Structure 1
Amino acid sequence: MLGAIEAGGTKFVCAVGDESGRIIERIQIPTTVPEETMGSVITFFKKYPIQAVGIGSFGPIDVNTESPTYGSITSTPKLAWKDFPFVQTMKDNFSVPVGFNTDVNAAALGEVTFGAAKGLDSCLYITIGTGIGAGAIVQGNLLQGLSHPEMGHLLVRRHPKDTYKGKCPYHHDCFEGLAAGPAIEERWGEKGINLVDREEVWDLEGYYIAQALMQYILILSPKKIILGGGVMKQKQVFSYINKYLPELINGYVCLPDLIDYIVSPGLGDDAGITGSLLLAYQALQSEKPVTS
């Protein structure tokens, strides 16, 4: 039996299941402070004979296994969680292998294994909600270098009619600062769910998302792009993305049929927790002794 944690900024989803993606039981826990939230997490998993745990976490996090702070949440704006030793905390309580990556990398892993990118060795998963983050599978492996990707903070060209200053506390008008849920709410004075019939809202959203996708396509050339998160539950955004992206690419590279290429998560809201189960399985396999 495997344990999985999808650690988000507002809630933790904890589940037990197996490497086939089957979920036996799950709970949701509010993200408050580590002592409180992790107390509930540990209590949940103590009920089960778990063999490994996979964590898909909000970030930034330290995913460099050679680093002295590996397994920690690092420079998060959620100050109570800054420098929290996530992996070590789980190992101290369960003495099992722990897989650790970003929530969006976990979701990408779930989608390429069981979801919209199943059968491919390449995909890009982007969540557009309270923040914007992305995870990528390249040649069958999660993309990682000095650290994990932070694709939500690339710079985009401002729409000529958009005077909104941007919401990102670090960069103001980066992709996240202009297109995440809080930016929509602050710019238009309403939550996105109350702006469904305002065409100009979703046209502008599609304009910024298409710019970001152009850069991801030119750099990573993913075989499938999956757009999740609360903002993307407004399905009308896809039509605006599909309008602007070909204009931006302008024939430079050949795009597949966008209706099949840029899609919603095949696993729906379960992409992250399913991927976290797979992180647990990978950690378990990596610690098994090799037999001749």
Structure 2
Amino acid sequence: MTDRAELRSTLETFATERVDPRFAELDTLDTRAQVRLMAEHGHRAVDAVAEAEKSIARAVDGIVERMRRGGRLIYIGAGSPGRLGVLDASEVPPTFGADPGLVVGVIAGGDTALRSAVEGAEDDAAAGAAAIVELETGPLDSVVGISASGRTPYVIGALQTARERGALAISLAGNRSAQMSADADIAIEAEAAPEIVAGSTRLNSGTAQKLVLNMLSTLAMVQLGKVYGNLMVDVRSTNEKLRARAERIVISATGCSPDEATRALAAADGSVKLAVGIVSSGADPAAVREALAAADGHLRVALAALASRSAADPAD
């Protein structure tokens, strides 16, 4: 059997490559029926993520534990999975006010691959390893290797090197019993295929992987204190829409008037978290800043400390 024949035989066992006979007449259906079929089948992505809940939770806990000690979250993948990683990483700074280097997205073939296919990039295991070395990855970092098939050489090379360097290695695959799961400390397998268009893993597999990435980054930020309740209190107000959102967040968190929110944001130099602290506690900006620093940025903890201090010393 030739190498190509062996590969073809192997791929035929993967859900992501399987041809589902239920969709054999897809091209003969009218548009409404095609839309309905895709909508119905799309639920499989959500189900697949729910089935991986335990592994996802373990990954979040591991990422947060390392981030609290100064580590980073690094996504690495090829093709569509790589693009999803870069997308998720790029949304973290504006949403959560995080340093741009806290969550990093790497794609095989570099930035060119974000818009165009880079031939052979995903087959280069050495390049995946080199990307991890170039980032000076270490024991405080968490590396998430993303692959629909679960056998992408570039990603496997990255995960193996991440582990060798002491980082937490997390695999995110679209198939069960994925090859790269063996190279991970935590394996997340969200099998949402077969796809409605056979082998097109940007569909359900991609949706499932995006949902998992949403969970990893968002819940890490929640646990790091960048969310109060369900409000993004560290959002950066970089345009008019976000400035209006900042005001709404202060109002929602405190029940204050729009004028009070505007004044608090001005006193807080635009910091939503600080403004909420000022309105909620009645303390001056310096006291709220001090409480937030002592609470590692957790607003709820800071407010409790300010309330306790005020109760102990009513003169304040």
TM-score normalized with structure 2 length:
0.30
Between structures 1 and 2, the one with greater strand share: 1
Flag the structure with larger Rg: 2
Structure whose residues are more often helix by fraction: 2
